[in-house]
A and B are shown apart, each in its own frame.
Chain A
């Protein structure tokens, strides 16, 4: 029996008010809407008793029997629910609550939302709702008569298929791969055909799916291996031989030694593909994925910091200019904020920083998530599974979510794929992940975990394949808890349902571990046991569905030799003079630029103080902090510092040169708050256009000539990172749009005493304002100012870069030695020294008086020199003396504010009276861009 209950609300409904504001901004001022919640219950339970779960009269909620979708008068009802194959996050909670309330008979629940619209006819109401409050990839409009039979996904699984590749030509192999959604290159298909000849039987679908996803670029990093990039980066890290490095590129995350017997570790990963087609789910997936990387690092870790970094086209872009088949960038930004909030907040992991940047190349958006974790140092090494060890799957049930996600993420995004690969996106269920976030460290501390790994790309297939690579395993899929009874064996095997992890435990601990799982309300399933011969044998429904030698899986992947070709583009610095002049109008435009403006409207939606570890959060005094600082060990002042750099303009103008500038910015941000160069390690994430010889040349040089070489020069090792080389969008009208060659370096540092952090807010009236950077060839290339003056970034061109790269190292060291002279410190990035002066004033309520030569004004205040700092000090002479040998510019002094006065060559170009306009431009631009 299916019963439908509807919850109506009296009084103010802020969500409905917010929706009405959005409708009005989009030209529908007459549309009025009320929200109702709808719950469909399957089973025979006491509605009166269960009703209290759905409505609290004290909160103005009233539970009513379903009135149907037809209403009298001018009201029309549009009901939205998840697609039938998606399990509502509320379902599990409802079943659990019914059990706890002692209400028997509830078998399943589906939740939905009804929009009661007035002011327009039904067709228009449906159009408005689907435009603003609906995602066709994961949701449906409910029609009268739906849900007659059962609420649960039903059906029978397809039988196991076999594929005989022996008789197929190369062309037929490729055609089959495309048709089946394997997206495998021909070399791999040929290897599969050859191996079939050796073992003498066709492939089952389980086996072939396992091989193609394991060999995909997403899991096997074929592009990077083909270019020798990972090898180059690891060789540089080994050569640095940093005493703090504990785990580099081998586990889920890269780890360094912390204090007090602990290690801290970092992981960053992009989820561009799902975020581009269904942003909220995709962004939830990215956060869920990196958080699990941390939770299953070593023998179990605990996440202590998250970040979100999004690259899109301009959110205010007119509808007509959005590439055909792509989501509107405003939708992507708003949904990404919603996805980050809906995942990271329930996970209880503090937000370290949230960056939103725009570039026309991001038709396929960039969605990078990072996470930092902590664990006792002696638990960060995984132990080797032993024969007979139990493979225990923990967390959520397995559904059709993300099937082919790993291979799809390695492919170019096309307009058609937005529709076709909708199944690669799933709905986040962070509470399931939160539960094992508590469980895993508890099991680790009891010594019960031999090794563990998370289920992400490739699902059970990838994680069993990796964890049992040497020993092999027997796996039984028959009793696997499923969201959808119709899943075929191969779908169970490669499903990327999130919120799952795999523990390898000694058989003698199984009962204890299962008992702890029950206490922490974590579901678990004995998936199988380890063997001793390297074979993987998978059974389902009593039949063997896969029998594979894992040595083939990990040793036989053909790596294509990739050809690179130098694009042959001439690059030169863009000199400051002649670009334009500094004046109030330019300053206002810089402050209102999407990269420079106040993004706190988004940042305030993310919990940044949960866990009680935050020392410096994403905002300080209302302006963006240079770095996140945490004191992870309770009661101790030991600090973990993390900063990052993401500047698409720099990447576009000079893809290879920008790698150094970005590394310098991330390191300078860490040094500004108080980290020493000796205590800094790096994580690098890359997002580059699809593979052509020219694009691969850039990638190769970004990694080897940029990141690897400079990491050695700076002495800052790369310990983790990830790449995606599928940053090309092909629109439905045939246009190919490449992302800029994106590199995002992030630091992971430690500092001995967080009480000594330095932050941006100005401290004292009269303090000198000093800018310092290495001696360099001035260049306005890639700056915000140049783009506003000329309409482009000046490229291809060279960014401002030190004449002697060793100067950067010298400056970081010298600054660390001069820390006692500083009142405030900030690294100079987008928006130049001027933006940092504004931040110093805004965060403190103080003001600034700035004097520069007319010829230098643009460069000194709006240039973006690599590794530069904006400092204030009460002992300016001493500071200047300490920084001798670098470019030191005393720009002015701190005043009793508020307001900034700037004079260039004796002429005032920005008056203190301009302050409200400057602040207004900075503080309102983000909301204007994303909300209208």
Chain B
């Protein structure tokens, strides 16, 4: 099988470090341009896993991740059906929502990611807790991870029914989930900042920016270790 795919749309800006983080965790990865997917030159089904990294795909015009989610929605949903892991970070998380990857079996949307309460982009280091019940947090349940965030639309607006989703990460203050600013920079309810639908994980913090000793935290490696474990499964 080909290396894991890190999808790059016009406006994506976190792909290089994402490729490096996957490689660092032990599996090959490479950049795949969405133009090649749309043209049919690339078939995502040849890949063991997909990551949609951060950025401002198509300028995030009309809604964060919207054009990407609509343009690639069909291919992303087809890939999700294979049961192989998918990781959406920041803009990638927003893309997953817009592509319908957090929809439930009866079509419930799972919600959306909307503007931070502060009405501005929040770039800062935060602490998240790995929650229980997600295949992505297996073995690190309860662990506190120090990771950077940088987003303007990271507040989860849940739909009426979200039983099909599992919380993977929550913002924490003193070890406990929080809705207080700035520990919870977006104002997201329950501190929820990472969600799973099966093996599809979306998260607002950037694990790919915290994988080396000089990053200030290597906690992001936990996420990529899980990604590689799920791809090898």
Contacts and interface: CB of A to CB of B under 8 A. Distances in A.
A53 B66 contact: yes
A604 B122 CA distance: 6
Contacts of A90: 59, 61-62
Contacts of A605: 120-123
A341 interface: yes
A520 B60 CA distance: 17
A611 B16 contact: yes
Contact of A635 (B24, B60, B71, B216): B24
B179 to A, nearest CB: 13
Contacts of A606: 121, 123
A607 B58 contact: no
B214 A14 contact: no
Interface residues of B, number: 59
A131 interface: no
A635 B20 CA distance: 8
A12 B188 CA distance: 12
B180 to A, nearest CB: 16
B120 to A, nearest CB: 5
A521 B35 contact: yes
Interface string A44-63: 00000000111011111100
Contacts of B198: none
Contact of B208 (A12, A348, A435, A612): A612
B14 A348 contact: yes
Given A53-B67, A612-B211, A60 B157 contact: yes
A57 B107 CA distance: 13
A15 B110 CA distance: 24
Contacts of B98: 56
A245 B213 CA distance: 30
Nearest to B151: A607
A97 B71 contact: yes
Nearest to A21: B119
A755 B112 CA distance: 40
Nearest to B20: A634
B215 A612 contact: yes
A346 B115 contact: no
Interface string A423-462: 0000001110011001000000000000000000000000
Nearest to B111: A58
B209 interface: yes
A520 B71 contact: no
Contacts of A54: 62
Contact of A615 (B24, B159, B215): B215
Contact of A93 (B17, B67, B110): B67
B61 A614 contact: no
A130 interface: no
Contact of B56 (A14, A17, A346, A351): A346
Nearest to A639: B214
A148 interface: no
A519 interface: yes
B63 A56 contact: yes
B119 A17 contact: yes
Nearest to B97: A58
A612 B117 contact: no
B13 interface: yes
B59 A345 contact: no
From B33, B59, B60, residue with most partner A Cβ within 10 Å = B59
Contacts of B24: 635
Interface in A1-26: 11-15, 17-18
B14 A520 contact: no
B193 to A, nearest CB: 16
Interface string B192-231: 0000000000000010110111111000000000000000
B184 interface: no
Contacts of A612: 14, 16-17, 20-21, 206, 208-209, 211-212, 215
Nearest to B102: A58
Contact of B54 (A341, A438, A610, A754): A610
Contacts of A603: 123
Contacts of A634: 16-17, 20
A434 B124 CA distance: 23
A518 interface: yes
Contacts of A348: 13-14, 54-55
Contact of B58 (A13, A97, A519, A615): A97
Contacts of A609: 123, 148, 150, 206, 209
A757 B216 CA distance: 12
B38 interface: yes
A608 interface: yes
A674 to B, nearest CB: 12
A615 B36 contact: no
Interface in B1-57: 8, 10-11, 13-14, 16-17, 20-21, 24, 33, 35-36, 38, 54-56
Contacts of B58: 93, 96-97, 431
Given A56-B112, A348-B13, A431 B117 contact: no
Given A93-B67, A431-B56, A611-B14, A59 B114 contact: yes
Nearest to A14: B119
8 contacts: A14-B115, A56-B66, A346-B55, A518-B35, A604-B124, A606-B123, A609-B123, A615-B215
Q: Give me the 4 closest cross-chain CB pairs, A-B, nearest first.
A: A348-B13, A612-B17, A59-B112, A14-B119
Interface of B: 8, 10-11, 13-14, 16-17, 20-21, 24, 33, 35-36, 38, 54-56, 58-63, 66-67, 70-71, 97-98, 109-124, 148, 150, 157, 159, 182, 206, 208-209, 211-216
Given A96-B58, A100-B71, A612-B212, 7 more contacts: A53-B70, A97-B62, A346-B56, A346-B59, A434-B56, A518-B35, A611-B13
